[in-house]
């Protein structure tokens, strides 16, 4: 671990306001891991969430965070007095006029209720930020970065952003370019995302920082059985980019001699239609749909599986995976992985550490799946190689060290900047 922030440093008295889309969220354990890592390095955080939690379960990782959490008005009309008080206080700030002009320019290009809500949330955030706030840090380049950006202008503070997947590929280029030009710095978690963002802005302020797992999370798992049926596992929300319908098509095309069972872990809007499709294909008796689960239950699913599958693809709206954290987690449990070349997955799964097939190609997926089901020795070799790769190249401490250093620099700069 890098040296933590000295307690006698002037920056240690400053707080970082972290803006997230929702807290806590089962699908965003990587954010919780990072924030806990930043706290361990001596940084003082305060979370501001744009949405209240909707998941019924909460990861133990999220519960371990010490930072206080405040919820901004999710819908402005539900908290009119709070929004009005936010505006009343924010209008007296030196940056109010500039922030309004910036927002109106954005609104002219994106005339949506969401754009109005972003500014209303920013007014409340700027009004309620404690005086010891030294910097704003947003997770995701779309809505959270907009709220952080407007609030930073209102308060005369610096801000930065961590970009991930959907936020990169579904946000208009003009918006990404302008945000990146203003942010003190940005990090992103895939080489593909880094290349794309660097083409839009000064690449010196954009860094590639992979997500990672802690030592405890990369501990060897119990060895999977080589028996029959072969236990297949896929983890991910039931949304178009996860390609679960392609996986169902591939399973239906397997030879009758293949003995398998599939477990799907994850919630999502497509679950009902996927269950109906599995029934139509005659697969229902072989599939267990577990729904959303907490991290302990997901770890147990990894330990009980023989093969992990992720049929990712690029959705119609451009949404796609970066490096799915579930793939890193599966490999850390010595699970062989079968995935597609969609998004940034080839940055993780390289020769000998897993099997990749083209996205949107159920026959190719079925062929690879049949070969892996039939060859337990090959699965074991892939699992061992994948485990070694994530242990060596995807340790969480590297990324946490770098982001902590960037945030510390931003706090120090804020101390020397007149406000």
Which among 390, 338, 345 is positioned nearest to 230, based on CA atoms? 338
For residues 402 and 388, membership in a common domain is answered with no
For residues 63 and 93, membership in a common domain is answered with yes
For residues 399 and 389, membership in a common domain is answered with no
Q: Domain holding 88: CATH number? A: 3.40.50.2000
Per-residue pLDDT of the chain (419 residues; tens, 9 = 90+): 444 555 555 566 899 999 999 998 877 888 998 999 999 999 999 999 999 988 777 777 778 899 999 999 999 999 999 999 999 999 999 999 999 999 999 999 999 999 999 999 999 999 999 999 999 999 999 999 999 999 999 999 999 999 998 899 999 999 999 999 999 999 999 999 999 999 999 888 999 998 877 655 554 554 545 568 999 999 999 999 999 999 999 999 999 999 999 999 999 999 999 999 999 999 999 999 999 998 889 999 999 999 999 999 999 999 888 899 899 999 999 999 999 999 899 999 998 999 999 999 999 999 999 999 999 999 999 999 999 999 888 888 889 999 999 999 999 886 666 55
Flag whether 220 is in a domain.
no
For residues 285 and 164, membership in a common domain is answered with no
What distances in angstroms separate CA 210 from CA 30, 48, 51, 190, 191, one per listed residue?
10, 24, 26, 6, 9
Distance CA 260, CA 228 (A): 7
For residues 182 and 257, membership in a common domain is answered with no
Q: CA dihedral in degrees (111, 117, 118, 122; nearest 10)?
A: 140
Distance CA 273, CA 173 (A): 33
Q: What is the pLDDT of residue 1?
A: 46
Distance CA 138, CA 171 (A): 15
Which among 340, 394, 335, 289 is positioned nearest to 30, based on CA atoms? 394
Q: Range of 185's domain?
A: 10-212+395-416
Flag whether 385 is in a domain.
yes
Distance CA 214, CA 208 (A): 19
Dump pLDDT digits (tens) for 32-51: 989 999 999 999 999 999 99
- CB-based contacts of 61, cutoff 8 Å, min separation 6: 29, 32, 33, 36, 295
For residues 235 and 166, membership in a common domain is answered with no
Rg (CA), the chain: 23
Flag whether 225 is in a domain.
no
Flag whether 16 is in a domain.
yes
Residue written as tokens 């927002």? Answer: 103
Flag whether 219 is in a domain.
no
Flag whether 165 is in a domain.
yes
Dump pLDDT digits (tens) for 219-272: 455 454 556 899 999 999 999 999 999 999 999 999 999 999 999 999 999 999
Number of domains in the chain: 2
Average pLDDT of the chain to the nearest whole number? 91
Of the CA atoms within 13 Å of residue 287, those in its CB half-sphere come to: 23
What is the number of other CB atoms lying within 10 angstroms of the CB of residue 277?
17
For residues 357 and 310, membership in a common domain is answered with yes
For residues 33 and 148, membership in a common domain is answered with yes
For residues 370 and 408, membership in a common domain is answered with no
Flag whether 224 is in a domain.
no
Phi, psi of 371 (to 5 degrees): -65, -40
For residues 269 and 184, membership in a common domain is answered with no
Element (H, E) at 400: helix 396-416
End-to-end CA separation in angstroms for the chain: 33
For residues 292 and 261, membership in a common domain is answered with yes
Flag whether 4 is in a domain.
no
Instruction: Identify the three-state secondary structure at position 5.
Output: coil
**pTM of the predicted structure, to 2 decimals:** 0.82
For residues 91 and 81, membership in a common domain is answered with yes
């Amino acid at each position: 671990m890098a040296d933590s922030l000295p307690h006698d440093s002037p920056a240690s008295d400053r707080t970082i306001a972290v803006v997230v889309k929702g807290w806590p969220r089962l699908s965003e354990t990587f954010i919780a891991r990072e924030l806990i890592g930043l706290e361990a390095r001596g940084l003082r955080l305060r979370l501001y969430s744009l949405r209240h939690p909707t998941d019924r379960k909460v990861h133990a990782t999220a519960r371990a965070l010490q930072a206080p959490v405040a919820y901004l008005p999710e819908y402005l009309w539900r908290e009119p007095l709070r929004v009005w008080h936010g505006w009343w206080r924010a209008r007296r700030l030196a940056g109010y006029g500039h922030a309004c002009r910036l927002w109106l320019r954005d609104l002219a290009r994106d005339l949506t209720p969401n754009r109005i809500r972003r500014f209303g949330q920013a007014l409340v955030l700027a009004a309620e930020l404690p005086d010891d706030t030294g910097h704003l840090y947003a997770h995701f380049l779309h809505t959270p970065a907009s709220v952080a950006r407007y609030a930073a202008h209102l308060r005369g503070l610096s801000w930065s952003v961590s970009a991930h997947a959907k936020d990169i590929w579904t946000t208009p280029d003009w918006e990404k370019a302008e945000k990146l030009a203003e942010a003190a710095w940005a990090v992103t978690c895939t080489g593909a995302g880094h290349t794309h963002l660097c083409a839009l802005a000064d690449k010196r302020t954009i860094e590639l920082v992979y997500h990672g797992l802690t030592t405890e999370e990369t501990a060897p798992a119990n060895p999977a059985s080589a028996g029959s049926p072969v236990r297949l596992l896929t983890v991910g929300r039931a949304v178009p980019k996860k390609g679960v319908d392609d996986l169902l098509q591939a399973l239906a095309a397997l030879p009758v001699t293949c003995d398998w069972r599939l477990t799907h872990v994850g919630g999502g809007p497509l679950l009902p239609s996927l269950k109906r499709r599995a029934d139509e294909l005659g697969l229902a008796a072989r599939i267990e749909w577990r729904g959303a689960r907490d991290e302990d239950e997901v770890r147990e699913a990894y330990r009980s599986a023989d093969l992990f599958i992720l049929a990712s693809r690029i959705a119609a709206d451009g949404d796609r995976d970066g490096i799915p954290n579930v793939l890193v987690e599966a490999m850390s449990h010595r699970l062989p992985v079968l995935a597609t070349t969609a998004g940034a997955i080839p940055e993780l799964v390289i020769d000998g550490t897993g099997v990749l097939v083209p996205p949107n190609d159920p026959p190719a997926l079925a062929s690879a799946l049949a070969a892996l089901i039939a060859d337990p020795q090959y699965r074991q070799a892939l699992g061992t190689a994948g485990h070694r790769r994530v242990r060596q190249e995807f340790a969480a401490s590297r990324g946490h060290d770098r982001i902590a250093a960037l945030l510390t620099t931003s706090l120090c700069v804020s101390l020397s900047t007149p406000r």
